Amino acid sequence: MNEIRAAALAQLSTGGPSAISLRAIARDMGLTAAALYRYYDSLESLTEDLCADRYRSMTRSVVAARDAQTDCVSRLRAMCLAYREWALSHPQEYALICGAPVLLTGDTPQEGPAVEKMEAAVDFTLAFLGPFAEAWAGRRTPPPALLPGVLESLDGVVVELLTDKLPPEGIVYFVNGWARLSGAITTEIFGHLRWAASDAEPLFRENLEDMLRQLTA
């Protein structure tokens, strides 16, 4: 399975998510395409397994950056920069991770590699929780009042994991900060900032410092 993943990763890195092909993987390994069905139900489950694997790799990078710092704000900054750095140096893998599932129905697979992929995504997000909660606790001024209905809309399963580390407003700011961070990186990786700058690192740093200013206000 590791060999399969390695071959699939090689194709992903060079040709993008759509270049992953069962037959090409089998060709690289000296096998027949049908042989791969001994290990995966379909190309989709192989892809989801690879996706979970890359998620875990990204998490390791970010956690390493976190553990190299001691101050909670420094940790957050290092994590965000490591996140962007990983995405920039593994753009096709990031495209796979962030690619559009656009799940139509509310289908929760409950089995197979899809659930592992979701768990890996949650683990990645939660790696930011500790430093964020610590920084939130050190705020000097109370945040602006929330719009009515925002707190009630937080009905996701993972929210329960946040309630004992963050107050309700903190959760909203964590989620929206998450959208801001991963959104900025996705926008850059997908090339939607190239009309403005060929190298978006200064823009990202400015964006990041703005986030941290708001967090510790």
Site for DNA, rule CB under 7 A: 20-24, 26-27, 30-35, 37-39, 42-44
Alpha helices in the chain (DSSP H): 2-15, 22-29, 43-67, 72-89, 91-98, 112-126, 129-137, 159-162, 168-189, 201-215
Q: Is 19 in the site for a copy of itself (CB under 8 A)?
A: no
Is the Cβ of residue 63 or residue 159 nearer to a copy of itself in the bound state? 159
Conformation bin of residue 144: beta by default, left when phi > 0, alpha when psi is -120 to 50: beta
Is the Cβ of residue 39 or residue 190 nearer to DNA in the bound state? 39
Q: Please answer whether residues 34 and 55 qualify as being in contact, where contact means their C-beta atoms are separated by less than 8 angstroms.
A: no
Partner from a copy of itself, DNA, none binding residue 205, C-beta < 5-8 Å depending on class: a copy of itself
Q: Is 38 in the site for a copy of itself (CB under 8 A)?
A: no
Q: Is 201 in the site for a copy of itself (CB under 8 A)?
A: yes
Q: Is 70 helix (H, G, I), strand (E, B) or coil?
A: coil
Is the Cβ of residue 138 or residue 144 nearer to a copy of itself in the bound state? 144
Partner from a copy of itself, DNA, none binding residue 142, C-beta < 5-8 Å depending on class: none
Nearest CA to 38 among 82, 81, 3, 78? 3
Nearest CA to 103 among 88, 93, 118? 118
Residues that bind a copy of itself (CB under 8 A): 16-18, 91-92, 95, 98-103, 106, 118, 121-122, 125, 144, 146-147, 149-150, 152-159, 172, 175-176, 178-180, 182-203, 205-207, 209-210, 213
